[in-house]
Structure 1
Amino acid sequence: MTTEHVHERSEPTAEQLENEGDVAADFIEELLDIADIDGDLNLDVRQGRAYVSVESEDSSIATLSDPDTVQALQEITRLAVQSTTGSFSRLILDVGGSRDVRRQQLEKLVDAAVLKLDDGASQASLPSMSSYERKLVHDIVADKSLVSESYGEGADRHTVIRRR
């Protein structure tokens, strides 16, 4: 059974999202300074979210670009933004191309699920993941002309894939 949550929250304006990105960039810049890591920050607003990406020619950024580390940094950064702005943040953080790496990992997970469907399974469940990752999975699944739905609550929310 799918459970939907309705939030009584208006969509942020482009100006509010740009402010989120600025606050996030300041926070991340401080973290990079503390860790003595050089990085260039790029800010963008896409699909109703502030995006902050960190790029570097320096190999030291690799220590931060592991998808699990980026996820943790993103959550800390969201809290810092929320503390400063007073508003919930859905900011997306990318470090050294980590989002591309994670998308490739999710594509492999979907491919493995498709193999289960090809072997006769009526559906295939993926592990729990963040709302952003589930959105990516839904996009990947739709590109393969399959159907996906999210089930569960909170940290247990996961995606189930099936044929149309």
Structure 2
Amino acid sequence: MPKPKKSKEKETDILKKIVLELMNLIGLETEMKITKDSQNQALNVNIDAGKEAGLIIGNRGRTLNSLQSILGMIYKRKTGEWKRIILDVGDWREKENERLFEIAASAAERAKQTDKPQTLYNLSSSQRRTVHLALSEDKEISTESFGEGKDRYLVITPKK
């Protein structure tokens, strides 16, 4: 494996070149904004893809997550250092988090009203984490993940 070049180029400039190259390979011309997120120790890349946003996001964000992973790998290869990169298109991740918060709150309320556990299926690991965090302050319920791999699910249980 070739050694990465030492460069005085800013990390945001390096990342911008990588994103432009990747989008060019996909056949898209995009505008982007790259910001440093000191709270999450990450570089945030928000792409404005216009009508092509769905192509980049993919089914349930799978393509977006894959592109995010690829960007991270290319960045590490070019710079020699790992950096958390968060790729977003038109604030899709923020909207997705809001949707997950609503689902979590609704399931927690159902668990309390029915006094029965509520199960959420088909969540990615990051989505399960978001639900756990969203409900962590609620003293009337608990959350736990069960299962393995793609069969993993989250259960919201009322406390007695």
Task: Please tell me the TM-score bracket, short chain as reference.
Answer: 0.5 to 0.7
Inter-partner Cα distance in structure 1 for 2:119 and 2:83? 28
Amino acid at match of 2:41: R
**Taking structure 1 as the reference length, what is the TM-score of the superposition?**
0.65
- Structure with higher Rg: it is 2
Does residue 1:26 correspond to 2:20, yes or no? no
Taking a change above 3 Å as real, the CA distance of residues 111 and 79 of structure 1, as seen in their structure-2 partners, is same
Q: Sequence identity, in percent? A: 24
Decide whether aligned partners of structure 1 residues 110 and 82 sit closer, same or farther in structure 2, where only a CA change above 3 A counts: same
Distance 1:152 1:90 in 2: 27
For residues 15-51 of structure 1, what are the alpha-carbon distances to aligned partners after superposition, in whole Å with 9 as ceiling and x for unaligned? xxx84x6554432221223323221222222444313
Alignment of 1:113-124 (within 5 A): 113-117=107-111, 118-121=113-116, 123-124=117-118
> Using the alignment, how far apart are the partners of 1:71 and 1:79 within structure 2?
13
Give the unaligned 5+ runs of structure 2. Answer: 1-9
SS in 1 for 2:136: helix
Question: Paired residue for 1:160?
Answer: 155
Task: After TM superposition, list the pairs within 5 Å mapping 1:53-92 onto structure 2.
Answer: 53-56=45-48, 58-66=50-58, 67-85=61-79, 90-92=84-86
Shift of 1:87: 5.6
Q: How many residues of Structure 1 are paired with residues of Structure 2 in the alignment?
A: 145
What RMSD in Å do the two structures reach over aligned CA positions?
Answer: 3.1
CA contact (8 A) 1:64 1:95 kept: yes
Q: 1:97 aligns with which of 77, 91, 99?
A: 91
- The verdict on how the C-alpha distance between 1:87 and 1:47 changes in structure 2, with shifts beyond 3 A counting, is same
What residue number does 1:106 align with?
A: 100
Residue 29 of structure 2 aligns to which amino acid in structure 1? I
2:33 counterpart of 1:41: yes
2: CA distance, partners of 1:133 / 1:148: 13
Measure the CA separation in 2 of the matches of 1:86 and 1:154: 30
Residue 151 of structure 1 is matched in structure 2 by 146
